[in-house]
Chain A
Amino acid sequence: MASSIVAGTTADEAERAAVELSRLAAACPETRQQGMPSDADCRAVYEGLGRRGLIGLHWPENLGGRGSSALETIAAEERLGYHWLPLSSYLLSVKTIGNALMHFAPLLAERFLPDIAAGKVVFCQGFSEPGAGSDLAGIATRAVVESDRLVITGRKIWTSSVADADWIYLAVRTDPLLERHHGLSVVVAEMSTPGISWTLHRTVGGGTLGEIGLEDVEVPLDQVVGELDAGWKVLMGTLDYERVTSEKVGVAFYLLDRLGELAPASYAASLRRLRGEALAARLHGRRATELLAGRRPAAAASSMAKLSIALLLQEIAETCLDVLGPRALIEDGEAAPLGGRIARFVRAVSAATIAGGASDIQRRVIARHGLNCPR
Chain B
Amino acid sequence: MTDEVADMLVSAVARAVGNNPAPDRWEPGQWADDSMSEQSEMLGAALERIGWSAELSDEAGPTAVGLAAVPLGKGTASLRFVDSILGGRPVVAGLVRHWQATEPALELVSGGRLRHLQDTRIEPVAYGDGSGIGLLVETSGSSEVDPLVAARRLEAWRAASIGYLAGLSEVALNECLEYLISREAFGRPLAARESIQGRLADCATALEGMCLLVSNDYSWASLSYSAAAAVDITSACHQLTGALGFTLEYPLQRRSRRARAMRAWSDWAADVA
Contact = CB atoms under 8 A, between A and B. Distances in A.
A103 B30 CA distance: 44
A351 B185 contact: no
B223 to A, nearest CB: 14
Contacts of A35: 28
Interface stretch (B8-16, B124-132, B140-148, B161-169): B124-132
B28 A359 contact: no
B111 interface: no
Interface in A107-140: 128, 131-135, 138
A253 B253 CA distance: 27
A326 B235 contact: no
A359 B125 CA distance: 34
Contact of B239 (A204, A333, A350): A350
Interface in B241-262: 242-243, 245-249, 253, 256-257, 260-261
A354 B264 CA distance: 25
B48 to A, nearest CB: 28
A217 interface: no
B239 A133 contact: no
A331 B265 CA distance: 16
A209 B247 contact: yes
A135 B184 CA distance: 9
Contacts of A331: 28-29, 125-128
Given A206-B29, A326-B265, A344-B29, A354 B243 contact: yes
Interface centre among B28, B92, B195, B267 (most CB of A within 10 A): B28
Interface stretch (A77-85, A162-170, A240-248, A335-343): A335-343
Range of interface residues on B (Cβ < 8 Å): 35 or more
A343 B127 contact: yes
Interface in A314-334: 314, 318, 321-322, 325-333
B5 interface: no
Range of interface residues on A (Cβ < 8 Å): 35 or more
Contacts of A329: 127-129, 133, 260-261, 264
A358 B127 contact: no
A326 B231 CA distance: 14
B260 A135 contact: no
A364 B125 CA distance: 43
A350 B267 contact: no
Contacts of A347: 28, 128, 253, 257
A42 to B, nearest CB: 16
B25 to A, nearest CB: 14
A335 B125 contact: yes
A128 B135 CA distance: 42
A33 B29 CA distance: 6
Given A138-B185, A203-B248, A209-B247, A333 B260 contact: no
Contacts of B231: 318
Contact of A333 (B92, B125, B196, B265): B125
A326 B260 contact: no
B23 to A, nearest CB: 16
Interface of A: 32-33, 35, 128, 131-135, 138, 157-158, 201-206, 209, 314, 318, 321-322, 325-333, 335-336, 340, 343-344, 346-347, 350-351, 353-355, 358-360, 363
Given A33-B29, A336-B126, 5 more contacts: A133-B243, A135-B186, A204-B256, A325-B92, A331-B126
**4 residue pairs, one from A and one from B, having the closest CB atoms:** A329-B128, A206-B28, A204-B253, A135-B185
